[in-house]
Amino acid sequence: MTETVLTGTVVPGDRRGRELGFPTANVELHDSEATLPPDGVYEGWLEDMGGIRRLAAVSIGGRPTYYGAHGARLLEAYVLDFSGDLYGQRVRVGVRSVVRGQERFSSSEQLIAQMHRDVEAVRRVASARA
């Protein structure tokens, strides 16, 4: 997959990622939604206003575990090894390698377990790229 770079502003979401132990930056895109890659989880990065680029697990999709087929399509980035406040920042997000397609899980616990595997997959892909 060719890297896709998107620009947007970090906005408050429903804070579900924080509840699950994976706080995400919900990025309201300034680019056309047509530029989004297909729904799924990707290895990528998030660059803040200060120009600091950090590894991220990037999710694109409607969050089917909680919203079924009716969830709004979002771009969320879980920035690895980061704790801080990105709200209101204009950021750039790079979407690189596919980790997996979007799935619906029967419980939050199953989703959390998969998210742990996703983060490890992101680290492996990024390490192989280096």
| Domains of the chain in sequence order | 4-129 (2.40.30.30)
Which pLDDT band holds residue 91 (cuts at 50, 70, 90)? very high
Q: Which residues contact 62 (CB under 8 A, 6 or more apart)?
A: 39, 69, 70, 71, 72, 73, 74, 102
pLDDT in tens, 41-82: 999 999 999 999 999 999 988 775 666 666 677 889 999 999
List the one residue out of 125, 128, 122, 129 whose CA is nearest residue 59: 122
